[in-house]
Amino acid sequence: MKLARPISRRFTSFSSRLKPDRVTKNPLSITVAKELHAYLIKTHRHDDSSSISSVIRAYCLAPFHLHKAYLVFNQIKLPTLLNFNLMIRGFSQSAQPIEAIKIYYKMYCFHGFSGDNMTFIFVFKACARVFDIKTGQKFHVHAVKLGFDSYLFVANALIHMYSSCGDLDFARKVFDTMGKRDLVSWNSLICGYSQCKKFKELLGLFNTMQEDNVKADAVTMVKVILACCYADNMGLADSMVKYIEEYCIHVDVYLGNTLIDMYGKRGLVNLAREVFDRMPERNLVSWNALIKGYIKAGQVVEARKVFDNMKQRDVISWTSMITGYSQVNQFKDALKLFQDMMAAKVIPDEITVATVLSTCANLGVLDVGQAVHDYICKHGIRADVYVGNSLIDMYFKCGVVKRALEAFHDMKEKDSVSWTSVISGLAVNGFADSALEYFSQMLKDGVGPTHGCFVGILLACTHAGWVDKGLEFFESMEKVHGLTPEMKHYGCVVDLLSRFGYLERAYEFIKKMP
């Protein structure tokens, strides 16, 4: 049996040969780093900046060990610039990027280090992650004074910082003044334009990139294709797919997902499936995008096959499939799948419960709808406008007017759909007076009526037998509210006139219909 060498023998020669410039190239494993750390403590060298650097780096790079790196760092008597850079880098990539900025100030104010190109790369990254453009601008000025702004990687970090903070003009200024650019430079600005939804500028920059003979990569193509979709320029999107094929750009999981999503939204689910099948690596987003594509195309059976083949599902997977069943009026299947989802202990979100409430409304299953409502209240699911409107619709369709009105008044925010649902619900359930009262209140609250709202008002007039009032409301659509009546409104008026014996007026009204 071969015994491991004692710690003292394993690290004596190693630590004596360790040089700062080698630390960043060959990081230690976390196990070796712990052993070396123990040895340095035992030999009273844990506060030596040179010896401890490799331990700090290993802790910084290992998940969940950054706090150990910081504890070790704080024990160093005279930390070097390398030590500071390691900590700044570690925190800039962590969940606490603000700490990277604090360490920089500590380094500059109390230890007299101005920093180097590596320092500025990661402090700019930290500023980008906390969206602190003012601090980033101060660091930018400092980098200019020291001459580090001309370094390629520093300039790229600057573009990323300004883009992340929404200052695209300054990001473009840095980009335009660069003596040398690489693909990261182009992608940083392209990502900035994408983040701020400046799609015209993004596509213009991509054209310039091609004029400069810079080959794009998967990151570039994701943003360019998204820009094409937002601009509704599907012809250009298709030409980008040809570009990917022509230049043999590797389709990673992110680009693959973008292509699946693009084809799915266009109803080209066969092309989406081809991309999916060719992807060497897939994630949950890939599967969900394909399901949504099949749902969009109305191919619920194919969507269910994909769903059943998934090894892992999230709330989006379940909700997409439930929505798919609802869209093709397979409400019982939608409700059954929701029950399976709850049995699988997947927590529904706002979209899930709103869809299920709509399903309950169409099936008239009040008990299930009330159970979902109770679940929303008990588990603190955010009752947004979408959920609130679904509750109103469900209770009205099940004939529980009181609960519908309670749901309406409990809503912190209401939109035109909320008011329309209440007005129509009251009308259908025979509360014409109340429907008109809510219509008046809606106008007082500054909410403009919609076409759907007037359908509800005309239904209320029909149920109450208010012929003249119904005609007045119809006339007010265009004259007062600027809404052109649609065929459903004409149908309501014809029904109103015919139902109460005004057949000649109904006939004359029909002849005047556009």
169-183, 227-241, 374-388: segment of lowest average pLDDT = 374-388
DSSP state of 311: S
> pLDDT category, 45, cuts 50, 70, 90?
confident
> pLDDT category, 1, cuts 50, 70, 90?
very low
Helix (H) or strand (E) holding 34: helix 30-42
DSSP state of 148: G
Does some domain include residue 397?
no
User: Domain boundary residue among 46, 78, 110?
Assistant: 78
Q: pTM to 2 decimals? A: 0.82
Find tokens 């910084």 and name the residue. 60
Predicted confidence (pLDDT) at residue 4 exceeds the cutoff of 80 = no
Q: Encode 5-22 in three state secondary structure.
A: CCHHHHHHHHHHHCCHHH
pLDDT for 371 equals 94
Does some domain include residue 334?
no
Do 411 and 382 meet the contact criterion of CB atoms below 8 Å apart? Answer: no
Predicted confidence (pLDDT) at residue 2 exceeds the cutoff of 50 = no
Q: What is the mean pLDDT of residues 371-375?
A: 93
Going by C-alpha positions, the residue among 326, 330, 323 that lies closest to residue 349 is: 323
Find tokens 């007045």 and name the residue. 472
Find tokens 């009526």 and name the residue. 449
The answer for residues whose C-beta is within 8 angstroms of residue 443's C-beta and 6 or more apart is 449
Rounded distance, CA 202 to CA 185, Å?
13
Do 402 and 410 meet the contact criterion of CB atoms below 8 Å apart? Answer: no
Q: Which residues of 38-54 are buried (b: 16+ CB within 10 A; e: fewer)?
A: ebbeeeeebbbbbbbbb
Helix (H) or strand (E) holding 49: helix 49-61
> pLDDT category, 19, cuts 50, 70, 90?
very low
The radius of gyration of the chain from alpha carbons, rounded to an integer in Å, stands at: 32
39-48, 249-258, 282-291, 372-381: segment of lowest average pLDDT = 39-48
Find tokens 């099936």 and name the residue. 363
pLDDT for 26 equals 65
pLDDT for 22 equals 41
CA 215 to chain centre: 28
Going by C-alpha positions, the residue among 320, 331, 262 that lies closest to residue 288 is: 320
pLDDT for 153 equals 97
CA 43 to chain centre: 51
* Average pLDDT score over the chain: 92
Q: What is the mean pLDDT of residues 24-45?
A: 79
Predicted confidence (pLDDT) at residue 3 exceeds the cutoff of 50 = no
Does some domain include residue 224?
no
| pLDDT > 90: percent of the chain | 81
Q: Which residues of 182-210 are buried (b: 16+ CB within 10 A; e: fewer)?
A: eebbbbbbbbbbbebeebebbbebbeebe
User: Domain boundary residue among 36, 51, 78?
Assistant: 78
Residue span of the structural domain in which 22 resides? 1-78
pLDDT tens-digit profile of 114-168?
999 999 999 999 999 999 999 999 999 999 999 999 999 999 999 999 999 999 9
Does some domain include residue 350?
no
Does some domain include residue 15?
yes
pLDDT tens-digit profile of 187-206?
999 999 999 999 999 999 99
Specify the 3-state DSSP secondary structure of 249.
coil
Predicted confidence (pLDDT) at residue 25 exceeds the cutoff of 70 = no
pLDDT for 319 equals 97
pLDDT for 12 equals 53
pLDDT for 34 equals 85
Does some domain include residue 330?
no
Q: What is the mean pLDDT of residues 48-75?
A: 88
Better-predicted residue by pLDDT, 284 or 48: 284
What amino acid occupies position 149?
Answer: D
Rounded distance, CA 62 to CA 94, Å?
11
| pLDDT > 70: percent of the chain | 95
Do 66 and 90 meet the contact criterion of CB atoms below 8 Å apart? Answer: yes
User: Domain boundary residue among 49, 78, 107?
Assistant: 78
Better-predicted residue by pLDDT, 64 or 137: 137
28-42, 218-232, 475-489: segment of lowest average pLDDT = 28-42
Helices and strands: H and E segment counts in the chain: 31, 0
> pLDDT category, 10, cuts 50, 70, 90?
low
Q: What is the mean pLDDT of residues 33-42?
A: 83
pLDDT for 196 equals 95
Q: What is the mean pLDDT of residues 453-458?
A: 95
- Long-range CB contact pairs, 271-279, < 8 A, 24+: 275/251, 278/251, 279/251, 279/253
Rounded distance, CA 318 to CA 283, Å?
16
Does some domain include residue 205?
no
pLDDT tens-digit profile of 456-496?
999 999 999 999 999 999 999 999 999 999 999 999 999 99
Does some domain include residue 109?
no
Q: What is the mean pLDDT of residues 275-290?
A: 96
The phi-psi region of residue 43 (left if phi > 0; otherwise alpha if psi is between -120 and 50; otherwise beta) is: alpha
Do 124 and 161 meet the contact criterion of CB atoms below 8 Å apart? Answer: yes
Q: What is the mean pLDDT of residues 31-44?
A: 83
User: Structurally, how many domains does the chain consist of?
Assistant: 2
Better-predicted residue by pLDDT, 260 or 16: 260
Predicted confidence (pLDDT) at residue 23 exceeds the cutoff of 70 = no
* Residues listed for the chain: 514
